[in-house]
């Protein structure tokens, strides 16, 4: 399936109206940079010597335009999942509602192992669950706290494929098209592939393309 090296919004603007069945994404939101600067996510520190180089940040000011494009490309009766932290959740939720999405709830990704830090130490992330129109989840027995171990020493902020597989299974059927406009390590795309969905993605970092290519080869 096709991969692009373009800015998320510019790339989405090339997709047809109502052409995507499910969109799952994890933009490099502004507050990630704050966590990195204060050193609570040392795994994300910039290191010229490693391939673990920090990526470009997506400024909050661009969220509304991003959500307009996501809403436009999604089919009627579809779902949209947005990975973020608490700071971005409060910022992003009203903007996504403004463009037309119904917000259901934040799903909690419990990473099981505690993270770095000097405060209440992070063990979870949010996955905001939005809907365009009405689509039933495929399995109504799944809780809103999802337990999957965090990834160590992967691509910066890499998400576990089994977590993505759960979301893909819940909100699509085989043969449908899944899109991730900030694909990073490609976990969303791999989950789609494993479950016989079609997928398309974009990422502006060459490192992301190389990382995902290597994963596919493995």
Degrees (nearest 5) of the Cα angle 98, 86, 152?
125
According to the binding rule CB under 6 A, does residue 69 interact with ligand SAM? no
Q: Given candidates 155, 177, 193, 209, which one binds ligand SAM under the rule CB under 6 A?
A: 155
Pick the closest to residue 70 from 121, 128, 140 (CA basis). Answer: 128
Which positions from 165 through 184 interact with ligand SAM, judged by CB under 6 A?
181-182, 184
Choice between 77 and 210, CB closer to ligand SAM: 210
Choice between 170 and 204, CB closer to ligand SAM: 204
Q: Closest-CB residue for ligand SAM?
A: 184
Pick the closest to residue 144 from 97, 110, 180 (CA basis). Answer: 110
According to the binding rule CB under 6 A, does residue 41 interact with ligand SAM? no
According to the binding rule CB under 6 A, does residue 107 interact with ligand SAM? no
* Phi and psi angles of residue 139, each rounded to the nearest 5 degrees, phi first: -130, 115
According to the binding rule CB under 6 A, does residue 28 interact with ligand SAM? yes
Choice between 58 and 109, CB closer to ligand SAM: 58
User: Which range binds ligand SAM by CB under 6 A, 37-45, 96-104, 132-140, 157-165?
Assistant: 157-165
Give the shortest CB-178-to-ligand SAM separation in angstroms.
13
Element (H, E) at 170: helix 161-171
Q: How many residues bind ligand SAM (CB under 6 A)?
A: 21
Pick the closest to residue 194 from 171, 160, 150, 162 (CA basis). Answer: 162
Q: 137, 144 in Cβ contact below 8 A?
A: no
According to the binding rule CB under 6 A, does residue 200 interact with ligand SAM? no
Q: Name the region of 200 (left: φ>0; alpha: ψ -120 to 50; beta: rest).
A: beta
Which positions from 125 through 154 interact with ligand SAM, judged by CB under 6 A?
none
Q: Given candidates 20, 23, 44, 58, which one binds ligand SAM under the rule CB under 6 A?
A: 58
Kindly report the three-state secondary structure assignment for every residue of 50-104. CCCCCCCCECHHHHHHHHHHHHHHEEEEEEEEEEECHHHHHHHHHHHHHCCCEEE
Pairwise CA distance, residues 42 & 28, whole Å: 16
Give the shortest CB-93-to-ligand SAM separation in angstroms.
18
* Site residues (vs ligand SAM, CB under 6 A): 7-8, 26, 28, 55-56, 58, 155, 157-159, 181-182, 184-185, 187, 202-205, 208
């Amino acid at each position: 399936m096709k991969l692009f090296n373009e800015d998320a919004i510019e790339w989405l603007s090339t997709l047809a109206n109502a052409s995507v069945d499910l969109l799952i994404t994890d933009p490099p939101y502004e507050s990630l940079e704050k966590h990195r600067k204060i050193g609570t996510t040392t795994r994300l520190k910039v290191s010229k010597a490693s391939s673990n180089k920090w990526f470009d940040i997506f400024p909050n000011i661009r969220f509304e335009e991003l959500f307009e494009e996501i809403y436009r490309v999604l089919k009627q009766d579809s779902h949209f999942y947005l990975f973020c932290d608490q700071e971005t959740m409060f910022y992003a939720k009203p903007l996504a509602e403004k463009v037309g999405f119904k917000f259901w709830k934040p799903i909690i990704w419990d990473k099981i192992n505690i993270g770095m830090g000097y405060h209440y130490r992070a063990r979870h992330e949010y996955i905001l669950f939005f809907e365009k129109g009405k689509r039933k989840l495929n399995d109504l027995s799944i809780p809103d706290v999802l337990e999957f171990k965090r990834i160590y020493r992967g691509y910066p902020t890499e998400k576990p494929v089994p977590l993505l597989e759960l979301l893909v299974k819940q909100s699509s059927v085989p043969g449908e098209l899944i899109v991730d406009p900030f694909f990073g390590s490609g976990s969303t795309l791999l989950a789609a592939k494993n479950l016989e969905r079609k997928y398309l993605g974009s990422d502006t970092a060459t490192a992301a393309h190389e990382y995902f290519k290597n994963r596919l080869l493995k």
